[in-house]
Amino acid sequence: MQEFDLIHRYFDWRPSHPAVTLGVGDDAAIVAPRAGESLVIASDMLVAGRHFPSSTAPAAVAHKALAVNLSDLAAMGAAPLGFTLSLGLPETDAAWLESFSTGLRAAASRWGCDLIGGDTVRAPQLTLSITVFGTLTGARSIRRDGAQAGDRLAVTGTIGDAALGLMLALENGRLPPGITEADREMLLSRLDRPEPRLSVGQALVGRASGGLDVSDGLLQDLGHLLEASGLAAEIDLDAIPLSPAARRWLEVLPDDLDRVLAGGDDYELLLALPPELPLDPAWGLTVIGRLDEAGPVGAIRERAGRPLPGRRGYNHFNEDGA
Amino acid sequence: MQEFDLIHRYFDWRPSHPAVTLGVGDDAAIVAPRAGESLVIASDMLVAGRHFPSSTAPAAVAHKALAVNLSDLAAMGAAPLGFTLSLGLPETDAAWLESFSTGLRAAASRWGCDLIGGDTVRAPQLTLSITVFGTLTGARSIRRDGAQAGDRLAVTGTIGDAALGLMLALENGRLPPGITEADREMLLSRLDRPEPRLSVGQALVGRASGGLDVSDGLLQDLGHLLEASGLAAEIDLDAIPLSPAARRWLEVLPDDLDRVLAGGDDYELLLALPPELPLDPAWGLTVIGRLDEAGPVGAIRERAGRPLPGRRGYNHFNEDGA
C-alpha cells in the first residue's frame, strides 16, 4: 500500500472543530484559536512491548494512546481540540490498521478531539507518537508550580488499579486468592482504557492552586508537584481511594501497597486545593493529605508515621521500570 | 539516569517567543497566539536505519529532524514558533545526548523555533518524532489545492543533490568519474543538512496560488499538487535546476536523472505562480513548467516529449523505497 493511500483510507476524517481550518492532507494543519484563547500542547510516545504488550487489541492501543495525552490536557484544565499522530509500523497489516483506525476514531469522537495531521513511517516496533492540542480561555491553567502550604491534597477516582492490572497481565491468568474474574476484568480495563479526567480538570481551573496527572506513580508525581512548588506533604495511607477489587487484593497481599502507590498508569488528577474551597461531590475527589513546609522540599511523610515505599514510581530509563 | 534528570539536563531551555507562555516542565506547554494569528502544525517521524544511517552524527540528526519539519512550515508560508520532540532511545548515551542536544539547540536558535515540550522513552531504534508549530497572520496560506491552470511551476534551489548524496553514502566512498571530493561533501551536506526555505515561503503567501515542499521526489510531489488542484502539467527537463556537481554527475551517468527527479529529500519548495506575478531574484526560483488541463488529472508531460521515470518517488511502505 502507498503511504498516501494508507493515510486516505484510515486517517482522513473531516475535523469537527471550527477552529481547525485545515486538517489532514496538506503539508501542515492550520488551527485558528479564538481571540483570548491559548493552546495547550502535550506529547507522549508509546512503544509496543514497552508501554503496552505487543498483543494488545488495536482499539485498546488507540484508546490508551489518545487517553494518556488527553490526561495531560485534563491536568492543565484544558478542553480537547485536536491531535497529530505519527505512527511507526513494522508492516502494513490492513486488519490491524482497520481496527486501530476504528478505535481511534471512536476515542477521538468521544472526547471531541480532531485528528488534524501526522506521519506514517516504517519502524522496527509499533510506535505511536501523539501531540495533542487543547484550549484554555484566558491566562489561567492548573500548573504544578502553583501549590501552596496549607492546601489539601486530593485525587480523582481510585489509585493503583492499573498497577494491579499490569501484574495480572504479566502473570498470564493466575489470580491472587479472593480476586474474582470480574475484578480481573475491571483491573485490566483500568490498565488498557484509562479515562482522562477532562471535566474535573476544566471545572478546577482557577480553583485548584496546582496539580498534575498521576502517570508515573502517585508518590513520584506528588514528588514532582512538591519540587515544583517548593513544598513538603503529609499523606494519610488510610485515605488513599481504592477500588473494591484493590481493597480485596491488599487484604490478601498487603505488600502490594507499594505497587499501588508507585505503579503508575493511573491517569487520575492529583490536585492542590485551597482550604476554603468547597468540594463539589460531582468532582469525585478524595482528600489524601495536606501540603506544608514542615520538611525538606519534596519530602512525603505518612500521617501515622507508617513507612512509604523507597521506590516512588516508574522510570522509563531503568529496564526494570524502577 | 532518571527521565526527569535527562530532560532537565539536555532539553530544558527557556523559550524565546513571547507567545510561549509555558514551556518544558509541566504536563503540557501553553502557546498564546496573537489575535488574528493562526497556528500551523506539522509532524514528522524519523527512524534510525531508515531515514538516516545509524552512524549519522548526532548534530546532523538533530539538524535534519528539525529542518524537515520546518520545511513543511515553509511550504505553508508560516513563520516558526516552536516544536515538541518525542525521543525514543535504545540506551542512555550521555555523549550522544550531549552532541544531539547541542546540535538541536543550535538549529532551534538559528531558525527561531523554541523547544516547548515532548517525551523521552526507550525504543528499539533511535526514533525522533517532532511536531512543529508556526504562525500565519490572517487566513492566507500556501495550500496544495489552490493551483490554477496557466500557473508557472517553479522550484527553489537545486533538485537531486540529496538523492545523489544518498547514493554516495550507500556506496562507501566510491566516487563516479568526474565527481570530486568537494562535490561529494556538497552532495552529502545537502542530504544531511537540508535548509528549509522559510523566507521564500513567507514571501510567497498570498502570491503563490499553491505549493508544497519536495520531500518524496519532485515528480511524486508534483503529482500531489496536481491531484489536489485537479490539474495536469508540462515540465521542461532542461530547465530543472541542477548544482554543478549534479550536472557533472549526469554528464557521466545520464541514467541517474531518474534519481534526481524521483529521489526525494530535496526540501525545496515547488510552487504554482500566477502568470502575472513578477519574480523577485531574491527568491531564487527557477521556472520548470506550467500547469494546465491538457491531460488527465495528475498527468505530467515533458515539453519535448522525452520519457519521464516510471517511478515517481519515495514510498515509505515499500522496502526498496519504490
- Residue of A25, A118, A124 lying closest to B124 (CB–CB): A124
pLDDT band at B3 (very low <50, low <70, confident <90, very high): low
Contact A123 B30 (CB under 8 A): no
Q: Considering only A8-12, A263-267, B69-73, B280-284, which range has the smallest mean pLDDT?
A: A8-12
Measure in Å the smallest separation between the Cα of A119 and chain B Cα atoms.
5
Smallest CA–CA distance from A270 into chain B, residue: B27
* B182: number of Cβ within 10 Å: 9
Contact B26 A121 (CB under 8 A): no
Q: CB contact, 8 Å: A31 with chain B?
A: yes
Mean pLDDT for B191-208 is 95
- Residue of A35, A38, A316 lying closest to B121 (CB–CB): A316
Answer whether residue A175 shows pLDDT above 50. yes
Answer whether residue B318 shows pLDDT above 60. no
pLDDT band at A2 (very low <50, low <70, confident <90, very high): low
- Among B112, B147, B148, smallest CA distance to B133 is for B112
Cα(A265)–Cα(A216) distance, rounded to whole angstroms?
6
Measure in Å the smallest separation between the Cα of A115 and chain B Cα atoms.
12
Cell numbers 551536506: residue? B189
Measure in Å the smallest separation between the Cα of A179 and chain B Cα atoms.
33
Mean pLDDT for B236-261 is 95
Measure in Å the smallest separation between the Cα of B220 and chain A Cα atoms.
11
H/E element, A60:
helix A58-76
Q: CB contact, 8 Å: B151 with chain A?
A: no
Pair A290, A176: CB distance under 8 Å: no
Tens digit of each residue's pLDDT (9 = 90 or more) over A222-267: 999 999 999 999 999 999 999 999 999 999 999 999 999 998 899 9
Contact B43 A127 (CB under 8 A): no
Smallest CA–CA distance from B87 into chain A, residue: A45
Mean pLDDT for B193-214 is 95
* A296: number of Cβ within 10 Å: 8
Answer whether residue B271 shows pLDDT above 80. yes
Q: CB contact, 8 Å: A19 with chain B?
A: no
Answer whether residue B171 shows pLDDT above 80. no
Cα(A21)–Cα(B162) distance, rounded to whole angstroms?
33
Q: Considering only A159-163, A296-300, A305-309, B250-254, which range has the smallest mean pLDDT?
A: A305-309
Measured over all CA atoms, what is the biggest interatomic distance in chain A, rounded to whole angstroms?
62
Tens digit of each residue's pLDDT (9 = 90 or more) over A99-110: 999 999 999 999
* B74: number of Cβ within 10 Å: 32
pLDDT at A24: 78
User: Which stretches within chain B are classed as H helix?
Assistant: 3-11, 58-76, 94-110, 161-171, 181-192, 198-204, 218-229, 244-252, 257-262
Q: CB contact, 8 Å: B6 with chain A?
A: yes
Contact B28 A134 (CB under 8 A): yes
Mean pLDDT for A61-82 is 94
- Residue of A73, A121, A139 lying closest to B47 (CB–CB): A121
Answer whether residue A322 shows pLDDT above 50. no
* B190: number of Cβ within 10 Å: 25
Cα(A36)–Cα(A56) distance, rounded to whole angstroms?
41
Smallest CA–CA distance from A42 into chain B, residue: B28
Contact A40 B51 (CB under 8 A): no
What's the number of CA atoms in the CB half-sphere (13 Å) around residue B138?
Answer: 7
Grid coordinates in use for A2?
502507498
Measure in Å the smallest separation between the Cα of A19 and chain B Cα atoms.
9
- Residue of A41, A44, A125 lying closest to B116 (CB–CB): A41
Answer whether residue A58 shows pLDDT above 90. yes
pLDDT at B1: 58
**DSSP conformation letters of B64-78:** HHHHHHHHHHHHHTP
User: Which stretches within B111-256 are classed as H helix?
Assistant: 161-171, 181-192, 198-204, 218-229, 244-252
Cα(B270)–Cα(B222) distance, rounded to whole angstroms?
7
Cα(B174)–Cα(B154) distance, rounded to whole angstroms?
33
Architecture of domain A3-137: 2-Layer Sandwich (3.30)
pLDDT at A61: 93
Q: CB-based contacts of B226: which residues, under 8 Å, 6+ apart?
A: B147, B232, B233, B291, B297, B298, B299, B300
Grid coordinates in use for B153?
511551476
Cα(B68)–Cα(B45) distance, rounded to whole angstroms?
10
Measure in Å the smallest separation between the Cα of A252 and chain B Cα atoms.
33
CA distances from A152 to A24, A155, A236, A289, A309 (A): 44, 10, 12, 6, 22
Mean pLDDT for A48-65 is 89
Smallest CA–CA distance from A30 into chain B, residue: B40
Contact B122 A26 (CB under 8 A): no
Answer whether residue A319 shows pLDDT above 50. no
**How high does pLDDT run on average in chain A?**
89
- Among B207, B76, B71, smallest CA distance to B151 is for B207
Stretch 152-211 of chain B: residues touching chain A, C-beta under 8 Å: none
Mean pLDDT for A27-33 is 78
Q: CB-based contacts of A308: which residues, under 8 Å, 6+ apart?
A: A219, A261, A300, A302
Angle between helices A94-110 and A58-76 (to 10 degrees): 30
Pair A111, A46: CB distance under 8 Å: no
Tens digit of each residue's pLDDT (9 = 90 or more) over A123-169: 999 999 999 999 998 778 999 999 999 999 999 999 999 999 989 98
**How high does pLDDT run on average in chain B?**
89
Tens digit of each residue's pLDDT (9 = 90 or more) over A269-278: 999 999 999 9
pLDDT at A321: 35
Cell numbers 488527465: residue? B296
Tens digit of each residue's pLDDT (9 = 90 or more) over B36-89: 888 899 999 999 988 888 888 999 999 999 999 999 999 999 999 999 999 999
pLDDT band at B173 (very low <50, low <70, confident <90, very high): low
pLDDT band at A314 (very low <50, low <70, confident <90, very high): low
Size of interface A-B (CB pairs under 8 A): 218
Domain A152-302 has CATH 3.50.50.60: no
Measure in Å the smallest separation between the Cα of A206 and chain B Cα atoms.
16
Contact B119 A31 (CB under 8 A): no
pLDDT band at A74 (very low <50, low <70, confident <90, very high): very high
Mutate which of A5, A31, A131 to test chain B, going by most B C-beta atoms within 10 A?
Answer: A131
Cα(B68)–Cα(B315) distance, rounded to whole angstroms?
16
Smallest CA–CA distance from B40 into chain A, residue: A30
pLDDT band at B316 (very low <50, low <70, confident <90, very high): low
Where is pLDDT greater, at A33 or A259?
A259
Pair A60, A103: CB distance under 8 Å: yes
Helix, strand, or coil (residue B63): helix
Mean pLDDT for A189-218 is 94
**DSSP conformation letters of A135-182:** EEETT----TT---TT-EEEEES-SSHHHHHHHHHHHTTPPPTT--HH
Fold match flag (B3-137 vs B152-302): no
- Among B231, B135, B29, smallest CA distance to A28 is for B135
Q: CB contact, 8 Å: A30 with chain B?
A: yes
Q: CB contact, 8 Å: B94 with chain A?
A: no
Domain range annotation of chain A: 3-137, 152-302
- B181-186, long-range: CB < 8 A, 24+ apart: B183/B244, B183/B245, B183/B248, B183/B249, B186/B161, B186/B243, B186/B245
pLDDT band at B321 (very low <50, low <70, confident <90, very high): very low
Stretch 238-297 of chain A: residues touching chain B, C-beta under 8 Å: none
Contact A41 B117 (CB under 8 A): yes
Answer whether residue A316 shows pLDDT above 80. no
Grid coordinates in use for A126?
509499533
- Residue of B116, B129, B141 lying closest to A30 (CB–CB): B141
Where is pLDDT greater, at A14 or A263?
A263
Nearest 5 degrees, angle CA A8-CA A46-CA A169? 115
Q: CB contact, 8 Å: A1 with chain B?
A: yes
Mutate which of B43, B70, B132, B269 to test chain A, going by most A C-beta atoms within 10 A?
Answer: B43
pLDDT band at B177 (very low <50, low <70, confident <90, very high): confident
pLDDT band at B313 (very low <50, low <70, confident <90, very high): low
- Among B145, B314, B252, B35, smallest CA distance to A22 is for B145
Rounding to the nearest 10 degrees, give the CA dihedral for residues A309, A311, A315, A321. -90
Contact B21 A38 (CB under 8 A): yes
